[in-house]
Structure 1
Amino acid sequence: MTNEETPMDSRYGVHISGGEVSGPIAVGPHSRATVNNLGGTSPGEAARLLDRLERLLAEHESDVTEPARARRDVADVRQEIEQADPDRSRVMDALKRLSARAAEVSVIVEVVGQIRELFA
């Protein structure tokens, strides 16, 4: 069977296993993957999302693993974004822990993802 005869899904399929994927992926003819980094993180936007995250943690505390530590992770992120030069890896580590602790609460995971996008 030549490449021309191979079904589309087997020629252009993507198989990813293990770890995390972060970044654009494009598959197939004429595909494009684009990343637009629009400058620095907006402290105001991050603070607004962290406020929302704190409210959601309070509302869903019984569904969050280690809620006190989850609140501490939020405080760590808030403290870091207030720095003149925030340490992206510290922020991402805290957000990763938050995602794991709140995995059962999709609205919290969604807000964590929005914060993560600010630092990507």
Structure 2
Amino acid sequence: MSEERAMEYRVDVSGGEVSGAIAMGPGARATVNNVGARGEAGPLLDRLERLLGEHAADLPEAAQAGRDVEDVRRELEQAEPDRSRILDALKRLSVRAAEVSVIVEVVSQIRALFP
């Protein structure tokens, strides 16, 4: 490929932030798989469910907190999980479990997987 032709397909990023895949050129495809976050979230969600069960008496909205965890799990099962939906459920969960620091800590660890 000539240098002139190669320049047609060049991508320069200077400053700012690129978040996602970039594809250029004929037949180019870009795919982003955030499997790491899903894989890491599973054990944390398991721990979170155990903690919710152990501290249910301390949580005025324990049932709703459990539904928030299920919302996160269901979203992570989607082909393209919606980060906003996940973060919204985690925010609700943080509010519902604010009195139990160990639960809030695990919620924070999960939230960190979705920057």
TM over 0.5: yes
Partner of 1:25: none
Answer with 77-86 or 41-50: which moved more. Answer: 41-50
Structure 1, unaligned runs of 5 or more:
1-38
After TM superposition, give the deviation of residue 100 of structure 1 in Å.
Answer: 0.3
Which amino acid letter does the alignment assign opposite residue 104 of structure 1? Answer: E
2-structure distance, mates of 1:54, 1:84 = 23
2-structure distance, mates of 1:99, 1:59 = 16
1:30-109 superposed matches below 5 A: 40=34, 41-109=36-104
Partner of 1:115: 110
Mapped contact 2:69–2:89 kept (Cα < 8 A): yes
TM-score, normalising length: structure 1: 0.65
Partner of 1:9: none
After TM superposition, give the deviation of residue 49 of structure 1 in Å.
Answer: 0.4
Structure 2, unaligned runs of 5 or more:
1-32
After TM superposition, give the deviation of residue 64 of structure 1 in Å.
Answer: 1.4
Deviations 1:39-91 (A, max 9, x none): 82432210110000000000000111311000000000000011111000100
4+ residue runs over 4 A deviation: none
2-structure distance, mates of 1:92, 1:101 = 14
Aligned residue for 1:100, secondary structure, equals helix
Partner of 1:30: none
Identity %: 70
1-structure distance, mates of 2:50, 2:110 = 15
Aligned residue for 1:118, secondary structure, equals coil
TM-score, normalising length: structure 2: 0.68
User: Aligned Cα RMSD in Å?
Assistant: 1.2
Deviations 1:9-41 (A, max 9, x none): xxxxxxxxxxxxxxxxxxxxxxxxxxxxxx824
Provide the aligned length of Structure 1 versus Structure 2: 82
